[in-house]
Amino acid sequence: MPHYCTLIPGDGIGPEVAHAAVRAVEATGVDICWRRSELNEAIILESGKTLPHYLLDSLNETHVGLKGPVTTPVAGGFQSVNVALRKALDLFANVRPVRTLPGIKTRFDDVRIDMVIFRENTEDLYSGLEHEIVKDVVTSLKVITRIASERIARYAFNYAKTNRRRQVTAIHKANIMKLADGLFLRCCREVAAQFPEIQYKELIVDNASLQLVIRPETFDILLLPNLYGDIVSDLAAGLVGGLGIVPGANMGETHAIFEAVHGSAPDIAGQGKANPTALMLSAVMLLTHLGENESACKLQNAVETVYREGKQLTGDVGGTASTEEFTDAVLRTIKA
Ligand code: ATP
């Protein structure tokens, strides 16, 4: 029986990196059948729906998705598709491994960075509850609940335990948002007490940003509410070479969608410049989720080999190769 997986290429650089990731997954020899679901700004504007029925139907059938970015309009326009999808399928945990890849020149050449970010994915300032009380006065609701905070904390600690990680750092601003971040922190502490074998630390988000830049190698598992998780993810990506290489997974009880940390990068879309590594490594997480560990290892090792050799890298990581040339190099390595 093949695995069935919903493929959402998205827009901007999405279709280019999705095509590359699909080629790489198929090269591993895994038996996978893609259910392609188009979703982009034009479709959303035309249908007037953020999440078309065919997309949810497909995901309810397959329960797993590989997704490229979908553009979110800034300051107006339709609701973020990414946020809507996470809420609709209750994909409460956003998991983002941030690791040094061999051969990439960064400011931290002498240290090995290996952290995993656990970002709460359903609430906080992403509740979408904003309104203008009177002209030029706007409120935006930050929603923090015990149920969501405990759930992401438990997910992070369970991951730490299963994967033999040593430390979880909860990141917050509870000195200012005493009630909201205070509740998040209380939940983290209660869950931490159930995992005495894992060291538990807390950092205020501004200090955490400083420490991440000064000594990134000291971080292990990061546990954050939604907004700080979003911002710290991009910061962490910058530490290891940029958004082109950091993968991610949106995990729920019944569904999982794998997508890169980066957005649709309209500045380089359609030019063959996009780095597909982040979506390929998201596909490694997908293969692991499907229990296809051998294929996952093949793809992970092939990507690392191409980086180690350093001859076919894309522009964002200091090379001159196109999306296709990089992908061809990964495929050649898998086949070798
Ligand atoms: P969003 O808010 O939708 O997450 P963003 O504001 O984080 O998006 P991106 O679209 O991720 O922005 O792009 C940020 C910068 O990183 C851009 O200059 C873009 O070209 C670059 N970038 C992002 N992804 C890639 C990639 N896969 N390959 C090369 N460059 C990328």
User: Which tens digit of pLDDT belongs to each residue from 120-168?
Assistant: 999 999 888 899 999 999 999 999 999 999 999 999 999 999 999 999 9
Give yes or no: 126 in active site.
yes
- Residue 314 backbone dihedrals phi, psi, to 5 degrees: -80, 165
Amino acid identity at 190: E
Q: Is 244 in the pocket of ligand 1 (CB under 6 A)?
A: yes
Report whether 16 contacts 324 (CB < 8 A): no
> For residue 76, what pLDDT is reported?
67
Give yes or no: 173 in active site.
yes
> For residue 50, what pLDDT is reported?
85
Tell me, in angstroms, the distance from the centre of ligand 1 to residue 135's CA: 34
**Both structure tokens of 326:** 């990089």
Tell me, in angstroms, the distance from the centre of ligand 1 to residue 305's CA: 24
Element housing 230 (H / E): helix 226-240
Amino acid identity at 246: V
Report whether 181 contacts 125 (CB < 8 A): no
Report whether 65 contacts 7 (CB < 8 A): yes
DSSP state of 104: -
Concatenating the DSSP letter of every residue in 304-324 gives: HHHHHH-SS-BGGGT--B-HH
Give the contacts of 85 (CB within 8 A, at least 6 positions apart): 51, 55, 67, 91, 250, 257
Using alpha carbons only, what angle is made at residue 185 by residues 181 and 188, rounded to the nearest 5 degrees? 145
Q: Is 274 in the pocket of ligand 1 (CB under 6 A)?
A: yes
> For residue 1, what pLDDT is reported?
87
Q: Tell me the C-alpha to C-alpha distance, in Å, between residue 161 and each of 155, 157, 199, 221, 223.
A: 10, 6, 11, 11, 14
Q: Is 243 in the pocket of ligand 1 (CB under 6 A)?
A: yes
Residues linked to residue 122 through DSSP beta bridges, in sequence order: none
pTM of the model: 0.94
Residues linked to residue 93 through DSSP beta bridges, in sequence order: 120, 251
Instruction: Tell how many helices (H) and how many strands (E) occur in the chain.
Output: 11, 12
> CATH 3.40.718.10: does it fit domain 1-92+242-336?
yes
Using alpha carbons only, what angle is made at residue 62 by residues 56 and 65, rounded to the nearest 5 degrees? 75
Mutate to test the pocket of ligand 1, among 16, 67, 243 (most ligand atoms within 8 A of CB): 243
Element housing 281 (H / E): helix 277-289
Active-site pick, 67, 126, 200, 273: 126
Domain ranges of the chain: 1-92+242-336, 105-240
**Candidates 3.40.50.2300, 3.30.365.10, 3.40.718.10, 3.40.50.720; correct CATH number of 105-240?**
3.40.718.10
Report the alpha-carbon distance of residue 266 to residue 260 in Å, rounded. 15
**Sheet of strand 114-120, all strands in order from the earlier edge strand to the far edge:** 32-36, 3-8, 64-67, 256-259, 249-251, 93-99, 114-120, 221-224, 167-172, 199-204
> For residue 77, what pLDDT is reported?
65
Report whether 152 contacts 223 (CB < 8 A): yes
What are the pLDDT tens digits along the chain (336 aa)?
A: 899 999 999 999 999 999 999 999 999 999 999 999 999 888 888 888 888 889 999 999 999 999 999 987 766 666 788 888 998 999 999 999 999 999 888 887 788 999 999 999 999 998 888 999 999 999 999 999 999 999 999 999 999 999 999 999 999 999 999 999 999 999 999 999 999 999 999 999 999 999 999 999 999 999 999 999 999 999 999 999 999 999 999 999 999 999 999 999 999 999 999 999 999 999 999 999 999 999 999 999 999 999 999 999 999 999 999 999 999 999 999 998
Using alpha carbons only, what angle is made at residue 312 by residues 307 and 317, rounded to the nearest 5 degrees? 60
Report the alpha-carbon distance of residue 313 to residue 292 in Å, rounded. 27
Report the alpha-carbon distance of residue 324 to residue 303 in Å, rounded. 14
Give yes or no: 11 in active site.
no
User: Which tens digit of pLDDT belongs to each residue from 106-118?
Assistant: 887 788 999 999 9
Q: Cα 119 to the chain's mean position, in Å?
A: 9
Q: Tell me the C-alpha to C-alpha distance, in Å, between residue 74 and each of 77, 78, 148, 265.
A: 7, 9, 27, 13
> For residue 106, what pLDDT is reported?
84
Which one, of 214, 275, 222, lies nearest residue 239 by Cα?
Answer: 214
Active-site pick, 173, 181, 200, 307: 173
Q: Can you tell me which atom of ligand 1 is nearest the CA of 274?
A: 28
Amino acid identity at 208: A
> For residue 244, what pLDDT is reported?
96
Q: Is 172 in the pocket of ligand 1 (CB under 6 A)?
A: no
